[in-house]
Chains A and B, each alone.
Chain A
Amino acid sequence: MTAEGRKERGSEQELVLLLQSGDELAFERLVREQGGRLLAVARRFLRDEEEARDAVQEGFLSAYRALDRFDQGSRLSTWLHRIVINACLMRLRSRRRRPEEPIEDFLPRFQDDGHQVRHPTPEWEGSAETLLAQSQTRAIVREAIDRLPDSYRGVLLLRDIEELSTEEAARSLGVTENAVKIRLHRARQALRGLLEPHFRRTASC
């Protein structure tokens, strides 16, 4: 660990001690320092501002109740992050099913002999680096992620954005690791299908 890392860890240890002693100012500091980032995470999962705020509030309240059980095996921010993600996933599970576009609409289709139906498959305009240099790209990608059905978007966010392992994602979702792998692949394929109209190379005249 670097000197800066040790200093940061020391500062976090002090904060944890204050939190565990019930220091209200320490808790307020925690909410202000971490709340914005956690709200951003909740928005990605829930796509609803009010629900995202509620999930963050629930997450902080759960953390407040469980502070004496925080054993500093992980960073405080990581622990909080997981609590808020779980709050979001619980909301997604209990949410009344909204009309969703069927994911099959965006998946590749195959003939009986295993060849792709679509022929030829178009190339895209460029690499990710090239596309990201365009100002609209991130917004286009985020909107496409938002269009994915909840169960697929959840896995994609957990694995590719929040960088949970397959095992951690499976545990959070209450499914098998195999189910996580299958859903992740389908989510990525569907996302590709949603992005293709924006990024495929158009034929030059």
Chain B
Amino acid sequence: MLTCREAIDRLSELESRDLTPAERRETKRHLVGCEDCLPYWRSYRTTVALERAAYSKEDPADLEIPEALVREVLASARTVPAFLASTGYVVHIFWGIAAAPLLTFWLR
């Protein structure tokens, strides 16, 4: 027989169907038969449904990107030279560092 603590500890797995059929039966048997766990289970399921709906009707104004942020994003992207905006940028930096001593020697 499960204790209240054990049954409530399984609630998340019950919701996500991660329990074996036997565990599921055992858990539900306790929940349905316990005057404290049954209302707790109901309110737990209500909580999960409420949080999933919490952001489903956001104010359209809250879903707009402020113009200032658009400008900041575009400005920061422009600081990335086209040739650096690629996986090769590390290679370019490496060759730049490697070429420096050669350039110094040649300029002497």
Complex Cα–Cα for A116 and B48 (A) = 21
Contact of B70 among A32, A115, A128 (CB under 8 A): A32
CB distance from A85 to the nearest CB of B (A): 14
Indicate if A36 sits at the interface (CB-CB under 8 A). yes
Interface of A: prevailing SS: helix
Indicate if A188 sits at the interface (CB-CB under 8 A). yes
The answer to whether A185 touches B47 (Cβ under 8 A) is no
The answer to whether B74 touches A132 (Cβ under 8 A) is no
The answer to whether A68 touches B86 (Cβ under 8 A) is yes
CB distance from B7 to the nearest CB of A (A): 9
The answer to whether A61 touches B53 (Cβ under 8 A) is no
Interface of B: prevailing SS: helix
The answer to whether A114 touches B3 (Cβ under 8 A) is yes
Q: From A63, which residue of chain B is reached at the shortest CB distance?
A: B77
Contact of B48 among A160, A181, A200 (CB under 8 A): A160
Indicate if B98 sits at the interface (CB-CB under 8 A). no
CB distance from A24 to the nearest CB of B (A): 8
The answer to whether B51 touches A160 (Cβ under 8 A) is yes
Interface residues in B13-37 by Cβ distance below 8 A to A read 13, 18, 35-37
Given the known interface contacts A22-B82, A27-B74, the answer about A120 and B36 at a Cβ–Cβ threshold of 8 Å is yes
What mask results when residues 53 to 72 of chain B are scored 1 for a CB within 8 Å of chain A, else 0? Answer: 11111100011111001101
The answer to whether A35 touches B73 (Cβ under 8 A) is yes
CB distance from B35 to the nearest CB of A (A): 6
CB distance from A13 to the nearest CB of B (A): 20
Contact of B46 among A32, A119, A124, A160 (CB under 8 A): A124
The answer to whether A116 touches B86 (Cβ under 8 A) is no
Given the known interface contacts A115-B3, A116-B37, A138-B57, the answer about A56 and B8 at a Cβ–Cβ threshold of 8 Å is no
What mask results when residues 171 to 205 of chain A are scored 1 for a CB within 8 Å of chain B, else 0? Answer: 00000000001001100110110011001100000
Inter-chain pairs besides A53-B69, A65-B89, A132-B53, 16 sampled, C-beta below 8 Å: A27-B74, A28-B74, A35-B69, A39-B69, A44-B55, A61-B80, A64-B80, A68-B85, A69-B87, A108-B40, A114-B5, A120-B36, A121-B35, A124-B42, A188-B47, A195-B47
